[in-house]
Structure 1
Amino acid sequence: MIKTILIDDEPLARSIVVEYLQNYPEISIMQECNDGFEGVKAITQHKPDLIFLDIQMPKINGFEMLELLEQPPSVIFTTAFDEYAIKAFESHAIDYLLKPFSRERFDKALQKWLQQHKHAEAPKALLTEDVRQPEERNRIVIREGSNIRIVPVHEIHYIEAYDDYVKIFTQKEMFMKKKTMSFYEKSLDESQFVRVHRSYMLNLQQLTKIEPLEKDTYLALLKSGAKVPLSKSGYAKLKGVLGL
């Protein structure tokens, strides 16, 4: 049996996929989900082979949902917005169905996946670090066990590299995210966040003072009391941004 999950906030859109899937008795619909939060829980529970995923949904979008999964299933995107097509294929999607799509177009996409699945070559929907939607620049979505947190970027004080992860520090909390420092250097507003060290990036709104540490090295003091080391090049970059 092939397991699938439908994730779309539009019941009518899901009903069309359900109708088209009736021609494929070998495929079992494990669950229908209204948003990405439900989608993450359903995928964790059922471990589907394939999902049909909308992009623009309430709470978190389809790309953010995939980012929360360590081993995403194969994905066929279903959306009304054609501007996401290139980014969908950059995320290794099987196909991209633009609503309203015909049965013939649906069959073409599904047959493509079935052929890959038959030969155990189905690509996983692993997001590249260039896939980033506008709303994602203002928030970071973090998974903590079965819970999902949305952290507004203005609440972030600084970010620290930690092996294959980063530590994201706010006023009272620290979150772990499996991303790289270079990813956030490219995706966060450079007028607000500055990479001041190989392992650190800080929010300029939290900076209160720069003080010398040793020869050619400095510390940035933040409002929270945290101290962030500045490399020589990071210090020069920070001075440039501050106009010093």
Structure 2
Amino acid sequence: MEKIRTIIIDDESLARDLVKSYLSEMDQVEILGEYSDGFQGLKAINDLQPDLIFLDVQMPKLNGFELLELLDKPCNIIFTTAYNEYAIKAFEHNAVDYLLKPFSQERFADSIAKAIFRLKNQTEDSNVIENLKEYEDKNVEDLNRIVVKSRNKIDIIPVNNIRYFEAQDDYVMIYTHDGHHLKQKTMKYFETHLNPKEFCRIHRSYLIRIEEISKLEPYEKDGWILVLKTGEKLKVSKNGYKLLKQQLGF
């Protein structure tokens, strides 16, 4: 078997040094590079196509899960993190392994053995990325930003800059004060992960920021149209109207 080509993505230099130190005693692994933030790491993954990635979860600029969401194809990941609230057992069913800092050399060697077995036997799960994304979707706290990739550009959108969301088949169009962005997510995902005090699902196609509302206007028989501060008009379903009444107290 050829050497396992790997990269290390972690914002802590001591953590990267520890992984490099452990790997220095393993002839079967070749380190292609180390990176201190998610943006650098994402570029390296796309450019170098490593066999294995050591990935931290909590990082500035772009965290591990946001990076994961931007990958074009599945890959083998060993998570290295100081946080245990990401349900270690759940991740071990998807990623190659999950190392909780500080981890021993023996524990690290076990992870490498798992990676070698997967690569040798070609047992890589093609659903690794999707499964991890799904797990993150179910367990993430309220969103405070959204990462969107379009062509060669990555935008990080603060939630407080979003006016409303519109469903478009398997995608969602995100309308901000600066423009709009297309994201491959479901409306249910955003409805579940946004603060219900700030956003309301007024229709199966629309999720709006409450403070963007200007007024409600009657539409046909027993129907309503929501007018935003920009003058845009969006349909309101019967259930959406009930939710608005509850949240606005009218």
Please give the TM-score of this superposition, normalised by the length of structure 1: 0.92
**For 1:103-122, what per-residue CA distance to the aligned partner results, in whole angstroms no more than 9, with x for missing partners?**
11001112112212222222
Q: After the TM superposition, which of the residue ranges 200-209 and 214-223 deviates more from structure 2?
A: 214-223
Aligned: 1:210 with 2:212:
no
Match for residue 94 of structure 1? 96
CA contact (8 A) 1:87 1:131 kept: no
2:58 to 33, 56, 73: 56
| 1:125 counterpart = 2:135 | no
Matched with 1:7 is 9
Q: For the structure 1 residues 102 and 72, does the alpha-carbon distance in structure 2 shift closer, same or farther, using more than 3 Å as the test?
A: same
Task: Spell out, residue by residue over 1:30-79, the C-alpha distance to the aligned partner (whole angstroms, 9 max, x if none).
Answer: 22110011111111111222110011111121111111223241211111
Counterpart in the other structure of 1:108: 110
Aligned mates of 2:207, 2:145 — CA distance in 1: 16
Q: Secondary structure at the match of 1:45?
A: helix
Aligned 8 A contact 2:166 2:173 in 1: yes
* Structure 1 unaligned blocks of 5 or more: none
Q: Distance in 2 between matches of 1:72 and 1:30?
A: 18
CA RMSD of aligned residues (A): 1.9
Shift of 1:177: 1.0
Offset at 1:173?
0.6
Identical counterparts, % of pairs: 48
Q: Matches of residues 165-244 of structure 1 in structure 2 within 5 Å?
A: 165-244=171-250
Q: CA contact under 8 A between 1:85 and 1:96: conserved in structure 2?
A: no
- AA at the equivalent of 1:17: V
**Shift of the alpha carbon at 1:85?**
3.5
Q: Secondary structure of 1:82's partner? A: coil
Alpha-carbon contact 1:91-1:131 (below 8 Å) kept:
no
- Write the letter of the residue equivalent to 2:138: D
Offset from partner CA, 1:75-126 (integer Å, 9 cap, x none):
1111122222348618822211111211110011121122122222223233
Structure 2: distance between partners of 1:69 and 1:88 = 20
Consecutive aligned runs of 4 or more in structure 1 exceeding 6 Å deviation:
none
Q: 8 Å contact 1:40–1:69 — kept in the other structure?
A: yes
Q: Which SS does the other structure have where 2:129 is aligned? A: coil
Measure the CA separation in 1 of the matches of 2:231 and 2:105. 60
Please give the secondary structure, in 2, of the residue aligned with 1:196.
strand
Cα gap change, 1:239 to 1:179, in 2 (>3 Å): same
Distance 1:105 1:77 in 2: 13
Take 1:194 and 1:4, find their aligned partners in 2: how far apart are those partners? 44
* 1:37 paired residue number: 39
Distance verdict in 2 for CA 1:200–1:91, change over 3 Å? farther
CA distance in 1, matches of 2:220, 2:89: 45
CA distance in 2, matches of 1:87, 1:105: 15
- Aligned to 1:215, the other structure's residue is in SS state coil
Partner Cα separation in structure 1 for residue 92 and residue 243 of structure 2: 32
Checking the alignment, whether the CA contact within 8 Å between 2:88 and 2:98 is kept in structure 1 is: no
Which residue identity is paired with 1:99? K
Flag structure 2 segments of 5+ consecutive residues without an equivalent: none
Matched, 1:161 2:163: no
> How many residues were matched structurally?
242
Tell me the TM-score normalized by structure 2.
Answer: 0.90
Distance change >3 Å, CA 86–CA 241, structure 1 → 2: farther
